[in-house]
Structure 1
Amino acid sequence: MAMITAKLSQLRLSPLNQRRVKPAAIESIADDIAAHGLLQNLVAYEEDGLFWVFAGGRRYRGLKELAKRKTIKNSDSFPVEVRTKDEAIELSLAENFQREDMHPADSIRAFAALRDTGMDVDEIATRFGQAVSFVYKMLRLSALNPALMDILAKDQLTLEAAKALTLTGDQEQQLKVFKASNGHAHTIRRMLTTEKVTTESGAFLFVGREAYEAKDGTITVDLFSQGDEGFADQPEIVQELAEEKLDALADEYRAAGWFEVSATLDQPYDLYTKGYLYQSQREPTKAEAARMAEIDTEIEAIAEAEGEDSERIEPLSDERDAITEALRIYTPEQKAIGGVALWVSRDGSLGQRVYRAKAEPRAKGSGIDGPAPLYGNSLFADLTRIKTQIVQEGVASNPALALDVLLDSLAGQLLHGGRSYQMALEVQAKAVPTDVPDELMATSDVRPVEETMATRFASLPIEGRFDAIRSMDGDDKMALLAGLVATMVDGTVFAGGSPGERHRHFEQIAKAAEVDVSSRWTAPIAVFDRMKRPALITLLREQVGDASASNCATIKKKADLAVNVSERLPAKWLPAPMIVGAFDQADLPELDEADAEDIEEDAEMA
């Protein structure tokens, strides 16, 4: 017996585990691990370079769920007790016979009963061997409507849905929302926060909690978040403060002499069409030149005496880089023709882009007729990212196609003079990000190809990788090729951008992969929540007819309208950007050399 730490990618669920029926409530197990860590190690035997878990299967599934949520990484390590394979069956059977998990409803009532006897949170935590924060959350759940507690006990209400219901303390409202939402956690959360802004949103982070609360803004804390995150109850205060802060920053740029300055909460949709304005290089002052010469002399002396890896060199190099960076400026002449776009990024930072304001705007191709009025820029981009995930999955399962895609991209660039940004596959060994909000994937079991690759090729070493690849059999090599090529296939239409040559290539790959998008993803309610009211009515009229659209047009609340539209659309309906072949007829104007370089740089920054 030995205790080690092993990467999640090295772990597998052993077929010798005596619990064959897939256990329920894996999501709640994952939540508990996320909140408190892995409190008990896994037990496994080693075989073929992997560790096969035969005790702790539910905890292992919980870890895999956290990896799926991107809360942890496949490269993270966890404690594993290593036993022999001969011990696996006996120990697995003993573990499952000895354990009978307590139902969440019983746990919640037990915590509440201890509280009612006069025990405080710290005493209860000690009694149950749990973290104080966990006990506090359980006690918050005990304040649910008693009828909901009974429903939870009957497994007719999930723990996730129960957590979402705690966003309101009104027990009558809890019951009404539960019935109206059919017990779906994401719907409950949406219904209780429709008029609020999350404290993790870009606008709130940009404003800051202190400034918001100084304006008498209040926050509903989400007790099941990490930390004190929640929802700002007065979104109008957030918007007002954000706009004031942006306007003040815009005034500073105008005062500095810029020809055009815009400041908006969201990134401008047409920014992609504007040409770049690159900084000029000024001559260093005498003091700057002298200091750079001193730094060069000091670095040379240190390297000679202590070696080039001396820790004393890095701060000197950083200082020199800072001086060099300060030499890059925009001249008054550039500012006279330049524009600055300011907006709030998703992480709350200030987004900004300098462009040629007086340059003629580039014509934008429409790609397809339907989506433009229906889907906002951000949603359009997310939908094409989901489509990209599904096509990547198809390419990863078809090594012959992956080889064709790779050869097509190389031949297009090296034989026909094409540019990398025009290809659906940019041969730069750069994985394409396809992350989208979790709520858009609520109805899909599609997994990012990089996760599948990390699992299948977990044993591929860093040291000696070339020799390991050389020793692979043909099938493994082709599977590795397919997966790696798939991660670089990109069909994303970036927010504010237009379909172009790259997207026509992507559609050819999607057809060759024979992917059925509707079998891998259906539109969750989150899609309709992000569409504007007129777009929802137009969509319903196009798909169902005038009568249905007219009936729904009388619905006052946007959230209710979104639900009605989602329920009336035909089975296997897909948003236009996600239909295979959507961008076959993209018709973009020819670009000159400078324009092409601008677009390529935009794509790299996206």
Structure 2
Amino acid sequence: MSAFEATNDAVVEVEGNTVPVEQGERRIIPLNRLFLSAQNVRKVRNPETIPELAAMIEAQGLLYPLCVVVEKRKGAKGEHFGVVAGGRRLAALQWLVEMGRMAKEVPIECLVFDVDRAVAVSLTENAAQEAMHPADQLEAFKLMVEEGRAVGQIAAAFGVSALTVERRLKLANLAPMFIALFREGKIEQAQMQALALTEDHAQQVRVWESLSHWERSAHNIRSRLTEQEVRADQPLALFVGLDAYRAAGGSVRTDIFANEGEGFLHDVDLLNRLAAEKLQAKADAVRALGWKWVEAREAGFPYAERSRFALLTCASVQPSAKEAEAIEALEADLARIVRRMDELEELNSYDADTDEDREWTPEQQAEYEALEEQHGTLDDQLDAMRDSLREWSPDQKAMAGVVLYIGEGGTLASVEGLVRAEDRKEANRNVGGGGATPSYESAPKERAEFSAALCQSLTAHRTAAVAAAFTLSPKVALAALLHTLLSHEREPWQSSPLGARFDNNAHKIASAAKDFDSSPAARMLEQAEGWGDHLPGDSAALFDRLQAMEVNGLLELLARVVARAYSVQGPDPVRSIQRGFDPARGIETALGIDMADWWSPTPESFLNHVSKAKMIEAVTQACGAEAARPIEAMKKADAVAAAAALLEGKRWLPSTLQSYVAPAVNDDDVVAVEEEGAED
């Protein structure tokens, strides 16, 4: 379809025929006499754009008359006019009336056409319109500022916020090459927003050209521009505080396209110094309470490092009747929530009885997420109440210490009552001299990061990956087998991921690992599954056949047997890290296991089974906070799809599938373990 313009009259092509459109009669008509004609050919309109258009009309007036025909309006007396071209403008005028910002009888300039020309007139105006390229609007805003118009005036004239104008001006001030690329459709607005973090045109061009075409995501551009800076929402920056940082002379690069409070801190050395000073002040205050030592650290305090310390049992003060009642109520609420969460988890897991992989409904997913948030809140309240009833004795403080560290959200976290290996040895020697025996407790167990069902699935995938790798590495399989047998002979109490009885774990993997059939491990294990087809079922005949096989054949067979026996599958997301050598870690290292080669976070394997908060956390870790931010406002199904697309190819792994962390071991730890064994 095409449209043509003429000097006095207009013509329009309708079904292959050129139809003239006569010039309309210019008349002033009261607004309440106008209505949208059924002959207006534009049927689809976006109501969200009407307030902005209304604001422009209110500020600048109606720049173009409405095209109308005389029409009867059902139930209305007097002459009325149907608007056949200018329906959005009519809707904007009527919106101003509804808002009380315009009288309903306000005179409106119109062009009146014969009713038999209604469709042609409507088609002429709508077909001839061409949307303005966003780059033209950017440069128009920039030109208006250069002519002396204030940002507020521009905002009022176009019915947008001052922030919107400032953002468009920010893009308009990019290096000219990017405006040209924008016109050509060779750069996206998100990429331009990232480049606008700096006003230095040379730096914009340098960063753009330093990235290959496929690397030029907004996230990568922003990361390259701020690689020597710290995000304002990072724990270190939150701990120091922007006010304190600015007061000390630090500068912040604000991102006008981000949410309020977000930005990048330039002076990392200053930030680190302020954090160290604040931590030291906190440490001095804690040390004054009588602890033997206090360690302050900017980084976290992971489980692997905590395991190097013994943890004293803190004496509890008897709660008052009111406190006891509050604790009991919180415990009851938490127990009720956990029961319901367990019930919901059962509805989102594999059912062995029916061979069905069940999934939550949207309502069940929403309920679980709400319960998860409620559990966290109540759990924090209970911990705070119990902490207020804990009291360390002077003797305990004299032998133990405290680790202070910056936790999530920039809060100051601490672990009290930690005993170093050398101090524990000293305490044990004092026991022999008549001293009191210190009371130790295990590290407090935190709430599992993932549900038991999902942990079973993830660890099953991990087991399958190692099993598949075993089939290609007979030498490692033989070493693992001999290590298990010899270790069991020498130290029967030591655990191993290899079952000495060589149970077949294949069916356990397939039933627990979500989306297992499409995994690389499943395909490799299926190829190796025919290893026993050529072996006789009779035990005596089997022995004879094995004796007759070459060593290489025996090794290949052994690798498949070991593969079927291996298992680290379980419901616990945090694998217990043993002191000294960890067989599972050793086996994975020998096989060169990287779970990113064997597993990826698809909707079926992971995303459908976690909360939206966990999805956002995963995308943030893999792609950055900017990429994850839109997911917050999405419904669950849309969030899953968006997260899956963002995580594809990023090789992101949940903590349960990440490489095992080797605990730090020193001579004192070994001595302490040996002495504890001697005491037993």
The normalised TM-score by structure 1 is 0.41
Of the two structures, which has the highest relative contact order with CA contacts closer than 8 Å and spacing of 6 or more?
A: 1
